[in-house]
Amino acid sequence: MILAYAVMRFSGATAALGTACTVVALVAQGRGHRFEPETPTPFDGPVDFVSRLFAEQWVTFPRFVLSGGGSRNLKDAGGRRVRLRRA
């Protein structure tokens, strides 16, 4: 959303902030995937990376949230602490 705002306002500083936030989110997501029991299939190349990123961020995740999956996961987790294994 920050990047869309930056484009509408022609703001270089906001675009830089949006890009930095995107990179931080991608790195965090990549590190988080290492702790999953079933790790995602490695990318076949840059086109595969962009297409999977777009599908996950703009199709799969909104569908998950709007279907109630996100709130169900939070409720099911309750106050439990999740133990992460070291990679």
Q: CB of 19 within 8 A of CB of 3?
A: yes
Please state the pTM of the whole predicted model.
0.57
Cα–chain center distance at 8: 23
Provide the residue count of the chain. Answer: 87
How many Å apart are CA 35 and CA 86, to the nearest integer?
8
User: For residue 79, what pLDDT is reported?
Assistant: 62
How many Å apart are CA 23 and CA 17, to the nearest integer?
10
**pLDDT tens digits, 36-49:** 788 788 889 999 98
CA distances to 14, 38, 43, 66, 74 from 27, in Å: 20, 18, 15, 25, 23
Over residues 54-79, the mean pLDDT reads: 84
Q: Encoding tokens for residue 45?
A: 């190349």
